[in-house]
Amino acid sequence: MTKRAELRAQYIAGWYEKDAAKLVQSTRADFQFDDPAEPAPVAREGLAAFMTRWDAHAGGHNDWILQDEVRQDKDGILTDWMWWAVVGTDLTGAAVVKTSDEGVFLERIAYFTR
């Protein structure tokens, strides 16, 4: 497994486990999370607080279904595209996550309620 694949797995585990430290440790210093409900992209230093806001937004549910995952590892960048849903809620959407060997540097999501 490449370093970028390990960091991507750690990043996802941080979300599933609600472990902000694990999540932040898997990101690069220039990390950005782009959520349309946020007034601006969330930087690495704001990620732990964002995790709390997201949890409230998702109704405290943290059981994810990731579907239709597509992965490309090209030129040192691992790019993941996926369709996701939060079980027990009406939240569903798409995401793209980009990871280098230094860490996750971008997640961009779009979503709606079913």
What was the pLDDT predicted at 114?
64
Per-residue model confidence as pLDDT tens for the chain (114 residues): 999 999 999 999 998 888 999 999 999 999 999 999 899 999 999 999 999 888 887 877 778 888 899 999 999 999 999 999 988 888 899 999 999 999 999 999 999 876
**Strand ranges in the chain using DSSP code E only, listed in sequence order:** 27-34, 42-43, 64-74, 77-86, 91-100, 103-113
**Positive or negative torsion for Cα 68, 74, 108, 6:** positive
- Residue 57: what pLDDT? 77
pLDDT, tens digit, 9 for 90 and up, residues 42-68:
999 999 999 988 888 787 777 888 889
User: Residue 36 maps to which CATH number?
Assistant: 3.10.450.50
Number of domains forming the structure of the chain: 1
d(CA 32, CA 43) in angstroms, rounded, equals: 5
pTM across the whole model: 0.92
- Its domain, for residue 106, covers 3-113
